Chain A
């Protein structure tokens, strides 16, 4: 029993960290150093099939029938997103955190790219089919939005070996930032296409470019809490906070528009006026009533908070359930819920199933496998097995984790 409790304390902390389809197991017995590497690629849409997305993002000719098929599936507002990154963490064996017996220094670095947004069905239809299909109709473009951030971080902090909790302070460098919001927007045309009208209220901001221009700070941390439940004993609850930070963008270009523009063709005065017209973009912005500004700005990183019930490594039952929720509090994001079941297949080998709803897409289900020994953990999983193998799915997700005891 004593052995079981000790093992639980040492190992249990690695269960159920944020990549929900891939609970981790490692034996750190006799070792106080760690290296771990996590990578994730998650591309997901609510309405675009993988076959279509593949052509759109990786090349190919898209036929009109394919576009119509996708369009029929669209809701009035459609979520999409892409999140990929690689994070490396290192806990040196002999580097005690200020002589603390149970706490070591921890270093981490990583790259992350986060894209999240939603778009109106009409926007997709106009962009893909043109306006000829919408003569005499009003097409809503409202509620479309987009957030894109690419960044790298390098951090230092402490790692508490008995619980696996950690906290790091990171220097962040952002290589790209874009944000767009169109709360009000519509396109309309006359039935004989003699006029077009575009109404829009929204804004776009972007910044990016050279490495080393946009700096900031962020916090990453994980905290474990054992919740007493009476009959079931203590249930471990993990709270993981990532990328809680801000970045200063020295040159953020912002555009704001609040206009209703009706166009029914040029007239003679317009054409005669073009002879002396100055075609600088500023003039067009004036026509479209677009305000442009370039200033430095502080931007929040897409911080995530995940609360989950992880697995017990030393469970006496072969089956265990885990669940949790992840949210991005600073951006428009439907919280992602997950629930899974884990099975001990063989000595050191585990496999599991996970069901997920929310986030960038709708419902999906996945599976994972992992292997753990005293010195090594390897795991590979997906939360969308159908999307991974079928063109009819709505995204692809794959993650891995590699942990070594040093």
Chain B
């Protein structure tokens, strides 16, 4: 039997060896053409209320950005508050018949709101928690009423039944509740009135209460945010600075930009029914590339401006606006703009009620009320560019594993149609880790539409194809590429293409790009 098994195993091994095989690298080459990018770039997507508008077939820059916003609900901070109340009887012992009230309390709680004096408020959110402790050996009933806290005109009221010597708690969401903060007298401010009544079980037995038995009540108000208020809002002050980053100008390295006259407005808008004061200062155009800053010079800066209170009420609120307008006649706005600052910085101060409580406590704010500083730029989109150059650097990794499937050679094809009256001269560098130029692609000119043919859109355009070849012998070098630098030089040539002029950017101007890659792929199965 053993002999048979040995023969079995030997034959098994021989059979397995017979099926073993060898594997080497397989490779072949295939040719591919793929679309990479296809889009028509135009300014229509920027035509909206705050960036661009169209006027007489040409674009108008209408840039509007909000620099600062102050909402009363955000600075009117109702502190989280817990009102503790304890009650004992003044005599040593008392027998309480069924249903006898042994605690009655009416009180006003005054919120500490600094110099703000509120008569009314509406809560956007908030929670009140009631915790009560029964001193009796029978059930007692706690009736808590907040008469000035109403929802749809109904006061907040809760009755809690608490077992012998027990405690009980409830939480109530105060969202939407209105607070009458005039207290029980009706003439106070920031005062929330409360009423409490505690009585023994009407259907229970008589019960004994001594002066060592304490009735406890805790009312906790927390997370309160208001979206409506009436009263005096104090002399709230805010100040800060704002930087408007214009990243697309950051890469500007050379050349000149000529812009037509335009206006820069700062609009101070007040939709609070309280007077405000504002001051703008330190407005500057910062060109970080050239480390040069042009401050805006105007006698409107560093001055206090009064912004009248808004008018109207619920649904009819009308903001009050005060504008500071800077133009060539009252400021150095032209040099300010043509500094091509990639950052516009400014400082601001605002203050409510600069003259104190002159409204007699009738300041008012609504859910949409705010104090805003807005900048508006109005300019026909007309531009003159004279070798205006931008440059940017990207990290790229074009390396391939040449021992596995890889692109052997190829060409990037760019089909371009330019309908902007701007020409571009693109220069592309591919650098290694040490900044050495490995590839230098120039002669990538994009001609201005000025020299082109009339399209059915009624504007000129010019077509061109650009090809960037990658040769097989460049593969090793391509593996070393770590950065790509592109530099574009823009000009706005005239009809004769001999000198640059101011040009209007026509409506419907577009820049069409179709990019394709054709390449030869060496496909490798296994590894070399």
Contacts and interface: CB of A to CB of B under 8 A. Distances in A.
Contact of B31 (A55, A130, A402): A130
A267 interface: yes
A130 B521 contact: yes
A230 interface: no
Contacts of A63: 28
B11 A196 contact: no
Interface string B499-524: 00000000000000011101001000
Interface string A45-68: 000000000011111111110010
B22 A58 contact: yes
B323 to A, nearest CB: 34
Nearest to B36: A265
Contacts of A227: none
A86 B16 contact: yes
* Dominant secondary structure of chain B at its interface with chain A: strand
A267 B12 contact: no
Given A35-B4, A267-B39, A88 B12 contact: yes
A129 B15 contact: no
Given A37-B11, A402-B11, A61 B27 contact: yes
A228 B318 CA distance: 109
B35 A62 contact: no
A230 to B, nearest CB: 43
B412 to A, nearest CB: 12
Given A41-B19, A60-B24, A88 B33 contact: no
A404 B7 contact: yes
A223 B12 CA distance: 26
A84 interface: yes
B355 interface: no
Indicate the size class of the contact surface on chain A.
35 or more
Interface residues of B, number: 37
B34 interface: yes
A67 B523 CA distance: 13
Contact of B32 (A37, A92, A132, A267): A132
A35 B31 contact: no
Contact of A265 (B16, B24, B37): B37
Contacts of B16: 86
Given A86-B16, A194-B35, A59 B526 contact: yes
B34 A193 contact: yes
A268 interface: yes
Contacts of A268: 39, 41
Contacts of B26: 55-62
A88 B11 contact: yes
A164 interface: no
A88 B23 CA distance: 27
B181 to A, nearest CB: 46
Given A62-B28, A193-B516, A88 B41 contact: no
Nearest to A91: B4
B85 interface: no
A278 B21 CA distance: 43
Nearest to B33: A193
Nearest to B520: A130
A86 B8 contact: no
Contacts of B31: 129-133
Which of B8, B24, B515 counts the most chain A CB atoms within 10 A? B8
B28 A37 contact: no
B29 interface: yes
Contacts of A127: 30
Nearest to A67: B28
A12 interface: no
Given A35-B4, A86-B15, A86-B19, A193 B35 contact: yes
B25 interface: yes
B1 interface: yes
Nearest to B516: A193
A130 B24 contact: no
17 contacts: A39-B15, A39-B18, A67-B28, A86-B16, A88-B12, A92-B1, A131-B33, A132-B31, A132-B32, A132-B518, A193-B33, A193-B34, A193-B518, A194-B514, A194-B516, A267-B38, A268-B41
Given A57-B23, A58-B23, A406-B4, 5 more contacts: A59-B26, A86-B16, A92-B4, A194-B38, A194-B516
Report, nearest first, the 3 A-B pairs whose CB atoms are least far apart: A59-B24, A130-B30, A265-B35
